[in-house]
Amino acid sequence: MKKQQTTDTNLDALEEILGYRFHNRSLLEQGITHRSWAYEQVKPGEEGKARRLHNEAFEFIGDSVLGLVVAHYLYQAFPDMSEGALSRMKHSLVSASTIARAAERLCLGQYLRVGRGEEKTGGRGKKALLADVFEAVVAAVFLDGGFIAASRFVDRALDPELKIVDPESAAAGDHKTMLQERLQAERLATPQYNIVETVGPPHHRMFHVEVVWEGGSVRGQGRTVKAAEMEAARTALAHINASP
């Protein structure tokens, strides 16, 4: 199999889709490079070189920039909302499922550089990889053009979601609140969340959380403790609803 090449023509097309022209295209190239591709390009023992090629560090930056852009948007759009309501809307907008959907609209999977193994297993279409590359592209725009450029990009990329976000729908998607209310309705104790495992390097942590309630326990995982708790709560609700 030939190594994937990122041509100027490809980057021209991607910049057109993103609505942003890079001054330093190497930032865009790194933003769309998965670690599986990077490690295929270096010799054993040269992992440091691979880290300078792939986008994991960009994901770390992009996650923070994305959160700030969305928080600023919500603060302006809903000036009278409580902190809790704003937090629920923000969580909905920056969730992996939301940004993976945005990545699909931008066709980022088509431009993502992945290794042979990921290519064979459909890595371009994996929700987790799409969410990661979206964050990395946010970082690439931020590093190249600053916060205003990144903010404009996020506003365009998440425009469908930003137009329909509201406190009610965000509350309905807050699985932790829904689980607690469900247990309270059945006169059961508040569920308890415990971190059972943390894996990965500091800039790319994956948290595994267990939620325990009277009658069962399940686990969830996520890039943050809050995301892992939310996934655990979602799974717990599905488990409870499926029980006779």
- Residues with catalytic annotation? 63, 135
Helix (H) or strand (E) holding 145: helix 127-145
Question: What H or E segment, with its residue span, contains residue 80?
Answer: none
Count other C-beta atoms under 10 Å from residue 95's C-beta: 18
Coil, helix or strand for 217? strand
Q: How far is CA 84 from CA 58, 88, 96, 168, 228, in A?
A: 29, 6, 20, 12, 18
Residues 228, 91 contacting (CB under 8 angstroms): no
Q: How many CB atoms lie within 10 A of CB 10?
A: 15
| CB of 222 closer than 8 Å to CB of 231 | yes
